[in-house]
Amino acid sequence: MRKNKQERQQLLLETIGENPFITDEELAEKFTVSIQTIRLDRLELSIPELRERIKNVAEKQLVKEVRSLPIDEVIGEIIDFEPDHSAISIFDVKEEHVFKRNRIARGHHLFAQANSLAVAVINDELALTAKANIRFTRQVKVGERVVAKAKVVFVDKEKERTTVEVNSFVGTELVFSGEFQMFRSSMIEQK
């Protein structure tokens, strides 16, 4: 059942508060209204567009700096970061990232997003990829947004390695998974 404007706008505020990464298209489908109606509602409520919401969340959540590499060297945009625990980045696939004849993303871009996120999550001055076990689970096309989620799953001080698991999604569909074994300088220095 359709809601009246006031009810819809209240639900819109709550929905975006819970999930700032929801698109206008997803909101329009959820509330069974047009995308233009959602945009007008956002305008009336002074809710920024998706890209601005993502930047706002990133600014609030990136309290600590990434130590292992400059933030601008991370492929994609970090939107959540907890050193030595987890990190999330988004990567919008554009024309320059795809093969021209079939418009499918080149694998090295998806790998670079995941690998740079695995490096970034390490809270150390130096983090290097020692080994990676990766799997592409479906093709990614131009215009799709890839959300990579990194999680530190194991620290082996004897072997001087930290294992980081990265899963990348388009929507809710897994498109890439990888397990990265990382060297870190603090483990080398402790010897």
pLDDT tens-digit readout, 58-69: 665 554 457 777
Tell me what pLDDT residue 57 has.
65
**Does 138 have pLDDT greater than 90?**
yes
- Indicate yes or no: pTM above 0.75: no
Tell me what pLDDT residue 187 has.
52
**CA atoms of 71 and 24, how far apart (whole Å):** 28
Mean pLDDT of 108-131: 93
Q: Which residues pair with 90 in a beta bridge?
A: 77, 147
DSSP code of residue 71: G
**CA atoms of 20 and 33, how far apart (whole Å):** 19
Tell me what pLDDT residue 157 has.
75
Angle between helices 24-31 and 35-45 (to 10 degrees): 110
Tell me what pLDDT residue 81 has.
84
- Three-state DSSP at 74 gives coil
Mean pLDDT of the chain: 88
Go through the domains of the chain in sequence order and give each one's CATH number.
Answer: 5-57 (1.10.10.10), 62-189 (3.10.129.10)
**Does 191 have pLDDT greater than 70?**
no
